[in-house]
Structure 1
């Protein structure tokens, strides 16, 4: 059957996509699933949040696309944690430019990642940038599920529809959107509570698409800066993500 393929994506920046990608990937690994996290965000934050910088790897996603001597997938993957591997990138602009030359954006990711079928991963997770790019086009044509973090503030909640428009432009089904994670929730503020209720109203016809909110916690930010996940840094934040992970397993496995 192959691995479950998930994109963590939102067309708005600053909503916690990389943080969410890293925590969910490591959380699934801690639940004894074999996970590959593919960092396709221009900031390389997933790699950084796992404690890796460019000096820690030689081959990256772009080397899989080298028209002269494409690297093998196994040569570009590094082990990040037990049961968790990472495929980093070093130049998202180069990847995007190379994809612009390909007329079959709908199948290119299958070709680039064809070796995955012979590898023992249960999940392949993509950390995507916020822009509408050829990279994201290719990812969305490849994956089975979308997990979308949404910051619980007005502009972010209002922008939820953008991903539906994007899928429509690509002629992809909105059924790909499997879970929406209200993120950076602050129960102390009326605005945050009102925006959470607005999200619930927006998805009142499909209430099981929303997870419990992830609270805004300094410890989550600190963990990323330290190159650690919440499971290594803060028990209370880890408990929140485990609740979301339960929903991921229920809906996707």
Structure 2
């Protein structure tokens, strides 16, 4: 189970979640995407309308519905989603007094063994929802926009990961950092990329996701970019990233 998180918004986190989940499904992996962001962009980006979100990740967290009741099929073969609704925005407050509030998602996902892989699209914050995602996950993937302020946010996220490892989930590891919104025409982009690779080395994926209009257009059609335009530069990058990610997964478990 892989959490995709970065407390800074606008770094391509949801785009990464949607397209990686699609790429794995296209490669024969039975895949699940859990939308844990109150904005519900991952759900919209996979064509799940508000009328089809009666049971969502909110009900799943609060133990008001089982995983099977919250899961929806998408138009992508082998890819299911647990959609999100705006109700999640109040969950942070509602769960403050709940015992074991950091373990709720992990407990709710105990029955997801039917899937070869699951991705958790975390909200752009380091609150209780993201904490639940990190505690439930085995791995963390961090999308990092190629700009200076993104580096400051990465430092804070890595500190949070260390705290989660010490207190809640010793098995959590960072599977990799992917550079997004890469623009070779911008000298700062190359500088940020060089700095990140110098500090974090092989933790950074070789694949970089470029700035790409088709990646931005796809969600408005309720489709992943890999379906909307599988030949665009963004789609090719996410297929390459999926291959790299598969190589980093120790089990490399694939659906028959």
Same fold by TM (over 0.5)? yes
The aligned residue for residue 238 of structure 1 is 235
Shift of the 244–66 alpha-carbon distance from structure 1 to 2, 3 Å rule, reads: closer
**C-alpha separation in 2, matches of 1:92 and 1:31:** 31
Is 1:63 the equivalent of 2:62?
Answer: no
CA contact (8 A) 2:177 2:203 kept: no
**In the TM superposition, what are the counterparts of 1:152-167 in structure 2 within 5 Å?**
152-167=146-161
Is 1:17 the equivalent of 2:13?
Answer: yes
**C-alpha separation in 2, matches of 1:65 and 1:155:** 32
Structure 2 regions of 5+ residues with no counterpart? none
**C-alpha separation in 2, matches of 1:65 and 1:174:** 21
- Runs of 4+ in structure 1 deviating by more than 6 angstroms, as ranges, are none
**C-alpha separation in 2, matches of 1:155 and 1:65:** 32
The aligned residue for residue 111 of structure 2 is 115
SS in 1 for 2:99: coil
**C-alpha separation in 1, matches of 2:61 and 2:149:** 37
CA contact (8 A) 1:152 1:183 kept: yes
Equivalent residue in structure 2 for 1:220, among 207, 215, 218: 215
Equivalent residue in structure 2 for 1:41, among 37, 41, 49: 37
**In the TM superposition, what are the counterparts of 1:44-123 in structure 2 within 5 Å?**
44-66=40-62, 70-80=64-74, 81-90=76-85, 91-117=87-113, 120-123=114-117
Q: CA deviation at 1:65?
A: 4.5
TM-score, normalised relative to structure 1: 0.89
**C-alpha separation in 1, matches of 2:197 and 2:99:** 39
CA contact (8 A) 2:138 2:171 kept: no
TM-score, normalised relative to structure 2: 0.88
**C-alpha separation in 2, matches of 1:123 and 1:108:** 19
- The root-mean-square deviation of aligned C-alpha atoms, in Å, is 1.8
Is 1:137 the equivalent of 2:131?
Answer: yes
Matched residues, number:
243
**C-alpha separation in 1, matches of 2:121 and 2:160:** 17
Is 1:199 the equivalent of 2:205?
Answer: no
